[in-house]
Amino acid sequence: MAGRIKDSDKEELKSRINIADVIGEYVKLKPAGGGSFKGLCPFHGEKSPSFQVTPSKQMFYCFGCQTGGDVFKFLELHEKMAFPEAVDMLAARIGYQLSYEEGASRENGERARVLEANTLTAEFFRLALSSAEAEPGRKLMSDRGFDAAALELFGVGWAPKGWNNLTDHLKGKGFTDQELITAGLASSGDRGIFDKFRGRVVWPIRDTTNQVVGFGARKIFEDDKGPKYLNSAETPVYHKSKVLYGLDLAKKDISRSQRVVVVEGYTDVMACHLAGVTTAVATCGTAFSEDHIQVLNRLLGNDPANPAEVIFNFDPDEAGQKAAMKAFGNSSKFNAQTFVAIGPDGLDPSDLRQQRGDEAVLQMIEAKRPLLEFAVDRSVMKFDLNSREGQVSATRAGAVILAGIADPIQRSVYEKYLSEITSVDRAAISSLVNEEVKKTRNSRVSNLAIPTPPVDEPEPDVAVGFEPVDLRDPTNRRERWLLEVATQLPELLDAVTRNRIFRIYFSASRHVAIAKVIQEESANASEKLIDRVVERLADQPDLQQTFREIAMQQLPAGDDEGRAIYARGVIGSALEQTIELEKNYLLAARNRADASGDAETTAQIALKLMDLDRELMLIKSRRA
C-alpha cells in the first residue's frame, strides 16, 4: 500500500495545472470577467450558470449548491474517486513523478491490519451467537423484539465468556499480541493478553464504507463487573467522537430523504430501522459532538428552499433534558432544521416498538417538535406563569434563547410564541431580545481596568454556534463585504486597522469564526492567504464552504483601480462603525463610573470620547 503523498507534490501539481483546463473537459466554461469562468454546475440541475472557476485562486465554487474546492476536490466529486486517485490522475496527466512521506506506509499497514482483525472478529462473534453458551444473549434480544433476521441484518454477535477465545482465534490467523492490543480487541495482564469483550452481546460498528471499525457490547451476566455497555477504545480506525452507529445502513436514505434521526443506543437504532425509520443513527457511548455534526453535514444538503431535518430522540428524564439543551446549543451548526421527538410515557424507540409496535415508532418521529421551541419551553417552564413575577422572569429567560436566532423572520415568529405563553406584550419582548443581542455584541469588547478602545493585540471571541447568515440583513451584508475585501485584497487593509475592526465588528458567529482565522493568517503573510485559510478550516467543512464563497465572490468593480476604490470604501465604512461601537462601550462605562461616583475614571473616558469624535470627523471628511 502506498504511503502519504507529500504536501509539496500536491502544491506543485496544482501550480502546474490550470484548473479551468481540467474542469473545462467536463463543463462548458465561458469567460466571466476578472480572470474567472462560468458554466452550468455539474453537481446540481440549473438553467443559468452559477458555477465559477478562478484559476488565479485555484478554486471552483457553485453559488447555487455551495459546492467548491480545488482541482482535486472536483475530480473526487465528479469522478467519485478517492483523493489519492485524483492526485495520481493529475500527476499522470502531466507526467509528474509523485513522492511519499517516510513512515506513511507503516501507518497505512497498521490501519489495514486493524481493519482485517476487526472483520475477522465480527464474523467470529456472529457465528458464536448460535452457540449454546449464547442463549442468554439470544433471549435478551428476542425479549426486546429482535428475531434472527434482525440480528443477521445488524451483524449482532456474541463474545464468549472465556478469557482467550478471540485472541487464540486471531493468533491462529497470524496476528501478534501487539496487533490485537492496537486493534482494541485484547488487553494486557500479568499472564499475557486476554479478550476485551467476554460474555456479552456484541454489535459491530461500521463506517460509511461498511468497514468494521469497532464494537459495542452489552453486559448479560451479574458477575460481569464492567459497565453495562462496553465500547471499543480509540484505535487507528476507531474514533468515537466521529463514529455513528447505523450510519452504514442509513447513509443512502439520509442523503435521499434529507432527514436523520439521532437516538441514544444500539437497540434504538435497530428498532427504528425495523419500524421503517431507516435514517436512524446513534453515538457510541459518548455525547453528540461537533465531529458528529460534520459527519452528518456531509450527507445533508444546504438548500434553504428544501431544508434538511435532524430529529433528536431523548429520554424525558433530567439527563435527557440536559442532552436536548446541549443539542440545541449545537443546532445552528447543522445544515438542517433541528427537532426533538420524545416517546409517549418516556419510552425509548426499542421499548416503544416492543410494547406498541412499529406504527408507534413512526408516529413518535412524525410528532417531532422544533428543537428551538423545546428550548424556549424548557427555559420558561421553571417559572410560575400564573404570577406576574414569574411571567417577567420567564420572559427574560426566553429572550436569551431568542437573541441567538440569526434569521429575523424566525426570531419574529418565536417572539410571538414567547408572548403567547408568557402573556407579555410582544413589543416588550422584541425590545428585550434586541437588548440581549446588543449585550452579545458588546461582550466582545474586553473589560480593561480603565475602559479604553481596543488596542493592537486583539483576541476575537469565536461564538459557539455557526448559524446560517441571512445576507438580507444589512448588518450581515456589511460584514460579508468586509470579509470579501480582507480575503481578496488583504494588502489594502493594514494590520493596525484590521486588528481594530476585527476585534468587535462582526456579530454573526459564522463571520466571527472566519474573521479570526483570516486575522491570524494575515498576521503571518498576505501571500497565499486563501489557501492557508482553506487549510485551517479543513476540519470545519461548513465554515470552509462559506469562506470559499467569500473568496470566490466577485467584487463590484471592472478593473484593479475600481476594486481598490471599492475596497477602501468598505474598509472606511467598517472603521466608522467600529469607532461608533467603541464610543457606545465607553459611554456605557462612563455611566457606570458616574453612578459609582468615580470622577477620575469619568474624566479619562470623556477625553477618550473626544479623541474618538475627532477621529471620526477626520475619516468622514476624507470620504466626503
Q: Are residues 497 and 610 in the same domain?
A: yes
Let me know if residue 424 belongs to a domain: yes
- Residue 624's pLDDT band, with cuts at 50, 70 and 90, is low
Instruction: Give 98's DSSP letter.
Output: P
Q: What number is the average pLDDT over the span 482-494?
A: 91
Q: Are residues 478 and 618 in the same domain?
A: yes
The per-residue pLDDT for range 351-387, each reduced to its tens digit, is 999 999 999 999 999 999 998 888 888 888 878 888 8
Let me know if residue 2 belongs to a domain: no
Which residue reads 406563569 in cell numbers?
385
- Confidence check: pLDDT of 454 > 80: no
The per-residue pLDDT for range 233-278, each reduced to its tens digit, is 899 889 888 899 999 899 888 878 889 999 989 999 999 999 999 9
CA dihedral 298, 302, 306, 311 (to 10 degrees): 50
Which has the higher per-residue pLDDT, 305 or 289? Answer: 289
Q: Taking the complete model, does pTM exceed 0.75, yes or no?
A: no
Q: What is the DSSP string of 383-438?
A: S-TTSHHHHHHHHHHHHHHHTT---HHHHHHHHHHHHHHHT--HHHHHHHHHHHHH
Let me know if residue 577 belongs to a domain: yes
Instruction: Write the CATH number for 340.
Output: 3.40.1360.10
- Return the number of other C-beta atoms located less than 10 Å from residue 14's C-beta: 17
Among 192, 527, 467, CA closest to 333:
467
Which range marks the domain in which residue 281 is found? 244-352
Q: Are residues 29 and 58 in the same domain?
A: yes
Task: Indicate the angle between helix axes 529-536 and 509-524, nearest 10 degrees.
Answer: 130
Let me know if residue 455 belongs to a domain: no
Q: Are residues 414 and 347 in the same domain?
A: no
- Confidence check: pLDDT of 522 > 60: yes
- Find out whether 312 and 300 touch, Cβ atoms under 8 Å: no
- Find out whether 288 and 310 touch, Cβ atoms under 8 Å: no
Let me know if residue 178 belongs to a domain: yes
Q: Are residues 596 and 570 in the same domain?
A: yes
CA-to-CA distance for 530 and 522, rounded, in angstroms? 10
CA-to-CA distance for 405 and 55, rounded, in angstroms? 37
The per-residue pLDDT for range 546-592, each reduced to its tens digit, is 999 999 988 887 688 888 888 888 998 899 888 888 887 788 778 77
Q: What number is the average pLDDT over the span 286-306?
A: 76
Q: Are residues 493 and 599 in the same domain?
A: yes
Choose the final residue of a domain: 199, 230, 261.
230
Q: Is 463 helix (H, G, I), strand (E, B) or coil?
A: coil
Let me know if residue 592 belongs to a domain: yes
Nearest 5°: the CA angle 214, 215, 220 is 170
Q: Best-predicted range by mean pLDDT among 17-31, 70-84, 168-182?
A: 168-182
CA-to-CA distance for 620 and 378, rounded, in angstroms? 48
- Residue 80: per-residue pLDDT: 65
CA dihedral 552, 555, 560, 561 (to 10 degrees): -160
- Residue 452: per-residue pLDDT: 45
Q: Are residues 200 and 299 in the same domain?
A: no
Q: Are residues 121 and 192 in the same domain?
A: yes
Q: Are residues 479 and 594 in the same domain?
A: yes
**386: burial class by Cβ within 10 Å (0-12, 13-18, 19+)?**
exposed
Among 231, 234, 160, 236, CA closest to 195:
160
User: Which of these ranges, 169-183, 407-421, 427-441, 476-490, has the smallest mean pLDDT?
Assistant: 427-441
Let me know if residue 437 belongs to a domain: yes
Instruction: Write the CATH number for 141.
Output: 3.90.980.10
Q: How many residues does the chain have?
A: 624
Q: Are residues 514 and 609 in the same domain?
A: yes
The per-residue pLDDT for range 316-351, each reduced to its tens digit, is 666 666 677 777 777 777 878 899 998 888 899 999
Choose the final residue of a domain: 303, 330, 352.
352
- Residue 150: per-residue pLDDT: 96
- The number of domains in the chain is 5
Choose the final residue of a domain: 94, 124, 150.
94
Q: What number is the average pLDDT over the span 520-526?
A: 76
Let me know if residue 368 belongs to a domain: no
Mean pLDDT, rounded, of the chain: 84
- Residue 442's pLDDT band, with cuts at 50, 70 and 90, is low
Q: Are residues 269 and 308 in the same domain?
A: yes
Q: Are residues 282 and 416 in the same domain?
A: no
CA dihedral 82, 518, 572, 578 (to 10 degrees): 130
User: Which of these ranges, 5-14, 34-43, 311-320, 576-585, has the smallest mean pLDDT?
Assistant: 311-320
